[in-house]
Amino acid sequence: MIQRFFIAALALAALSAPISPTTAQSQARDGIAFDVYIEQLKARARGEGVSEATIRRMTAGLNPNDRVIRLDRGQPGRPTTRGYPALAPYIATHVNSVRIRGGRTVFQNNRSVLRAVESQYGVPAEVIVAIFGHETSYGRIRGNFDLSRSLATLAWEGRRRELFSNEFIALMKVADKGYSRNQLVGSYAGAFGNPQFLPSVYLRLAADGDGDGRANIFSNRSDTFASIANYFRDAGWRTGQPWGVRANVPTGFNVDAYKNKLKAQVCSRVHERHSEWKTIREWRDLGVRAQRPLPDDTLVSLFQPDGPGAPAWLLTGNYRVILEYNCSNYYAMSVGLLADEIVN
């Protein structure tokens, strides 16, 4: 599961940072020399069927990138016991008029393609566009780190060697499909293209939306939309069900009495903020009412992120699918709310 949301959860502020030619000052955790380790990666790539020509062009002149290591080490570590920042200010800056207008423009200009993708995969067009908007500002900001150098650096450094070595080999296989090294650029930790897929995710879930035999998530909107939709379908999106709806919560209602008692194996702090699952009928009997109609037997979780008196939502299983893309309530809520604004 971690590879689904890992890269999306990383800080995206570094997406547009320039590639630095300087040699890294960092050392691998096990002391192995960079050049020696690269030879090991090359041997593994050959053993997994990558062509010699691809291996040569994707590893030519590789040296470690110290900035990539600094960025990776700067990611948040174990959760703290401190509280959570308010959701409302985050929504105000991430579901703003510029992003809403951009999403509506993309939706209108690609309506027929999006409807075809929605029909095939069962994922709403507006959700697809919202992901596109959040990940890369509708294709404007995709990052320009040399993916080969970044992934080789992170694999060699060793903090998460298994993850990044696997992604490096996956990148070689992507390149073997005919993509140039200049085209294979993206975030410092390996995500690329309009939907910011890791190489392994691209190999598994990138989709050919226009039938030309190639899943081009760099510049082809049909392929981009189909790939995002395929990701969501694979993660369990339920067709015809919203991600969530606003809810009316009675004054004085004790949300804490219905806290989720299950301990999530991944992203525990994200899921601990949600209530236990109840049907719409059960919540209504407790006085909590959905502001949009949902079938009485729909299982939902109550989420009131900013406390009593603040907006509350009843979240369906499809909200969990958005969390698979990025394990953050702030991200998932902003995607869902942006999607609603695009079509409202």
Q: Does the reported pTM lie above 0.85? A: yes
Residue position matching structure tokens 């809810």: 247
Other C-beta atoms lying within 10 Å of the C-beta of residue 30: 10
Give yes or no for a contact between 244 and 139, defined as CB atoms under 8 angstroms apart.
no
Mean pLDDT of 81-86: 78
Which tokens hold the place of 278?
A: 């109840």
Q: Does an H or E element contain 202, and which?
A: helix 199-205
Determine the length of the chain.
344
Give yes or no for a contact between 228 and 132, defined as CB atoms under 8 angstroms apart.
yes
- What is the C-alpha separation between 114 and 229, in angstroms, rounded? 10
Per-residue pLDDT reduced to its tens digit, 237-247: 999 999 999 99
Task: Give the range among 22-26, 52-56, 187-191 with minimum mean pLDDT.
Answer: 22-26
Per-residue pLDDT reduced to its tens digit, 157-189: 998 999 999 999 999 999 999 999 999 999 999
Task: Give the range among 21-25, 113-117, 131-135 with minimum mean pLDDT.
Answer: 21-25
Q: Is residue 320 classed as helix, strand or coil in its secondary structure?
A: helix
Q: What mean pLDDT is reported for the chain?
A: 91
- What is the C-alpha separation between 323 and 344, in angstroms, rounded? 23
Q: In this predicted structure, what is the pLDDT of residue 303?
A: 97
Per-residue pLDDT reduced to its tens digit, 62-77: 999 999 999 988 765 4
Q: Give the contacts of 94 (CB within 8 A, at least 6 positions apart).
A: 134, 330, 334, 338
Q: In this predicted structure, what is the pLDDT of residue 316?
A: 98
